[in-house]
Amino acid sequence: DDLFAAFETFRRAVCRITQDSRINKAALDKIEHKDSILKFLLDVHSRKKRHRKRTEALLSLLLELESWKEAFADDEDLQAAIAEFRGPEMEEPAEEAEEEEEEEDAEEDPRTLSTLWREDVDEKIDAAAARGAIGLLLVRVVAAHNLINADWFSLSDPYVKVKVGRQKQSTAVVDDCLDPRWDSETWFFDIPAETTLVRFEVWDKDALQDDPLGHVSFPARLAPTAPGQAW
């Protein structure tokens, strides 16, 4: 329905901000009408029982930020609703609350970030399965080192192409650099079969024709599967 659709749109946006290293996390502080958003999230939490884990994770994340705490400082009804949501075990001692107000930046709660991310991935896995995929491959291009210099009067301008079957993604170009760092967003690729080819290509961007700098490919069954494992 419209209520849950609006919630999902906002949740995905917050998830993107917290997971994409290219986006300043201070963007959450700049969101306007925080009090109205908190009331909306509390309403979703009370009315959509089957999605309470998602709303709890999102609310817990936002309520760790000082700018969001200030949003309900003068609203007694909202304070009461949030206190009820938190429960006795989540209420902060007065002294600790005062100390936190003096801090310029509130620390992120890794648990809530992890919960948001995990639920988003689970949703994408279900969608991939519905499309007939046997799995979902998550790819994030971080960096490369000691690349070949393919230019005459400057250094290579590298970027990476990722191909999984017929699906493709590309990083941004890093100018004049043999040790580029991209820190790309996380891409999601459907895996139609264990034999689906996963291919990474590094290219040098040129005005007329791009030059290949290197590549690696392997069947999807050889992709890392352990949490946190990377190549």
Query: Is the CB of residue 191 less than 8 Å from the CB of residue 133?
Result: yes
What's the predicted TM-score (pTM) here?
0.53
pLDDT per residue, tens digit, the chain (231 aa), is: 788 788 888 877 777 777 666 667 788 888 888 889 989 888 888 887 777 777 888 888 888 888 888 888 878 888 888 888 776 544 444 444 444 444 444 444 444 555 666 777 888 888 889 999 999 999 999 999 999 998 877 889 999 999 999 999 999 999 888 999 998 888 999 999 999 999 999 999 988 889 999 999 999 999 887 655 666
Residue intervals of the chain classified under CATH 2.60.40.150 are 133-222
Given 3.40.50.300, 3.40.50.720, 2.40.160.40, 2.60.40.150, which CATH number is that of 133-222? Answer: 2.60.40.150
